[in-house]
Amino acid sequence: MQVVVSDDSAVVPDNKVPLDAVAPQSVAVSARTSERICKYRMLGEYESAAKYQCSKCSVLRDRQEMSAPLQRRSDGIDLLEQASSRVKRVAIASLESRALKELCAILLQAHEQLSSVVDPHCSHLRRVQDLLAQAYTALSDWSQSARFCAESIIGFEVAYPPAHPLPALQLLMLGKLQLHLDQPSQAMESLRRSESILKLTHGDTHELYLQLRNLLDQALAEQQQQLLRQR
């Protein structure tokens, strides 16, 4: 049985709240089986809780049983905070190559720890994935950047309402990366999903929306060229 630590509540900040300010609101512990998903909540205060009880089936688990996944989650968050402290002072794009690689190494460790014990929509994991996407973009590693950008979208779509611009911006970023990777069909899909949101939030005359439309035209042209080469 895999034990999963998850964020229970979605974070839905105002459009003006910067992404860096988004923080998790609550933590629950889940044990997943093929038959059901159990949601374990701590009985008592976080630090002193000796038992965890499932809010669905009332099964109790000892703190000892939960200690390993909770420790991995704690280690992952510590690594995320270590990485975040490095980018609070300067923008990721302004870091030198060596500093970027060191940042990626820390974030990859955080990703390994968190992804083994948290749900895909966990706010901590989303933050790690977003930072990795930015760092690999700065290193011009489009493949790795696209990987983590795509992973982060799961968390963004859970944390924000359907018409929120932040998931749309992630999809726009992913579409750009897919164009860099010569994947026009995938880029078309990402950019169209982004367009459906940004047209509502920004309007069809906004500079960002017009940029997106140009990228869609580019993706369509490259897709057609690919089809011609395949004939």
85-103 tens-digit pLDDT = 999 878 898 999 999 999 9
pLDDT digits (tens, 9 = 90+) for 165-176: 999 999 999 999
| CATH class assigned to 67-230 | mainly alpha
pLDDT digits (tens, 9 = 90+) for 188-229: 999 999 999 999 999 999 999 999 999 999 999 999 998 888
Domain edges within the chain? 67-230
Ordered strands of the 2-6 beta sheet: 2-6, 28-32, 37-43, 51-54, 60-62
Per-position DSSP letters for 77-89, written without gaps between them: HHHHHHHHHHHHH
For the chain, percent of residues with pLDDT exceeding 70: 73
**pTM to 2 decimal places:** 0.76
Q: Rounded to 5 degrees, what are φ and ψ at 118?
A: -115, 160
Coil, helix or strand at residue 49 = coil
